[in-house]
């Protein structure tokens, strides 16, 4: 193997990390054929270390994606969007050439952070990728937390943020008002107006590392603070966590499988491919109550 590659444990899985250690390409296995026990351990170790991992040139059927997901965890909840028929745990992220509506997943967020137990991980498999645009940006909450000064860290520890789906999925939310989406069926519901409290600083259950746990798309306030007090602090943290120094730009190709850790990572789906079809299939893995 070339420079920058390493074999993990007893598996043939190799890992090529990004320079900052946030994000890594993995290879050396055929995902369609299933992972060995050693392979699973290697992938999980790389995932814990790098938070975003991807495999290139991995064609997967629906059943193979489901089987791979279950080797790595348990299916998570998928609210507010219709799954593939016959595959209740696969969400097809599709945008047709004629659509001009906003990109699904656009704007910084952590998947479904408004749930009491948000998903630990998201798996996204590329089927049809346009010739231009469509990159996904990832932001590293662990390094963002570590870059804050001690005084700021002391202020944040112990604070809890309110998370809600009301902005995109409530009866008065964005998706309730948009027209012209044909690639996906997205639901609005009064349930989206509820809110749940999570710590602003989360301890990762596997690594023990602390990270910011905020979601610009879903974090709507801070427990015990008035809106005019909490909003400036949240805006500061949103801007801090998404600074260029903490962000990885991920470029897709057909048959790429990417997995990211919602417990310490934000992501943002970009556009720039109007006039082209884009299709990816997604599963999530159940997580823990944030602490």
Angle in degrees, 0-180, between the axes of helices 37-50 and 62-72, rounded to the nearest 10: 80
Q: Residue 278 catalytic? A: no
When computed from its CA atoms, the radius of gyration of the chain, rounded to whole angstroms, is 19
Q: Residue 109 catalytic? A: yes
Bridge partners of 138? Answer: 248, 267
Round to whole Å and give the CA distance between 160 and 222: 6
Other CB atoms within 10 Å distance of the CB of residue 150: 7
For the chain, give the number of residues: 291
280, 184 Cβ separation under 8 angstroms: no
Other CB atoms within 10 Å distance of the CB of residue 215: 25
Q: Residue 267 catalytic? A: yes
Catalytic residue among 111, 140, 163, 202: 111
Catalytic residue among 94, 95, 109, 281: 109
Q: Residue 228 catalytic? A: no
Round to whole Å and give the CA distance between 36 and 255: 21
Catalytic residue among 163, 267, 268, 281: 267
89, 66 Cβ separation under 8 angstroms: yes
Other CB atoms within 10 Å distance of the CB of residue 10: 12
Round to whole Å and give the CA distance between 284 and 260: 10
Catalytic residue among 89, 125, 263, 282: 282
Q: Which residues are catalytic?
A: 109, 111, 267, 282
């Amino acid at each position: 193997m070339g420079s920058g590659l390493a074999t993990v444990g007893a598996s043939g899985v190799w890992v090529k990390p990004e320079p900052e250690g946030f994000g890594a390409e993995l290879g050396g296995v055929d995902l369609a054929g299933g992972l060995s026990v050693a392979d699973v351990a290697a992938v999980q170790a790389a995932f814990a270390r790098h938070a975003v991992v991807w495999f290139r040139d991995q064609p997967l059927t629906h059943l193979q994606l489901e089987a791979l997901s279950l080797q790595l965890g348990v299916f998570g909840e998928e609210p507010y969007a219709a799954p593939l028929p016959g595959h209740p745990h696969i969400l097809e992220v599709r945008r047709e050439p004629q659509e001009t509506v906003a990109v699904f997943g656009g704007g910084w967020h952590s998947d479904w952070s408004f749930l009491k137990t948000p998903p630990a991980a998201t798996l996204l498999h590329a089927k049809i990728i346009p010739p231009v645009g469509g990159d996904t940006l990832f932001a590293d909450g662990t390094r963002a937390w570590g870059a804050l000064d001690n005084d700021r860290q002391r202020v944040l520890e112990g604070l809890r943020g309110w998370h809600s789906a009301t902005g995109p999925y409530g009866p008065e939310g964005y998706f309730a008002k948009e027209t012209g989406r044909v690639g996906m069926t997205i639901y609005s519901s009064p349930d989206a107006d509820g809110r749940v409290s999570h710590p602003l600083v989360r301890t990762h259950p596997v690594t023990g590392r602390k990270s910011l746990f905020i979601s610009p798309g879903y974090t709507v306030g801070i427990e015990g603070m008035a809106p005019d007090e909490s909003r400036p602090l949240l805006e500061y943290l949103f801007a801090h966590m998404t600074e260029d120094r903490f962000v990885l730009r991920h470029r897709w190709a057909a048959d790429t499988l990417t997995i990211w850790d919602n417990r310490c990572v934000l992501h943002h789906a970009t556009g720039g491919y109007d006039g082209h079809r884009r299709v990816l299939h997604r599963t999530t893995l159940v997580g823990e109550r944030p602490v």
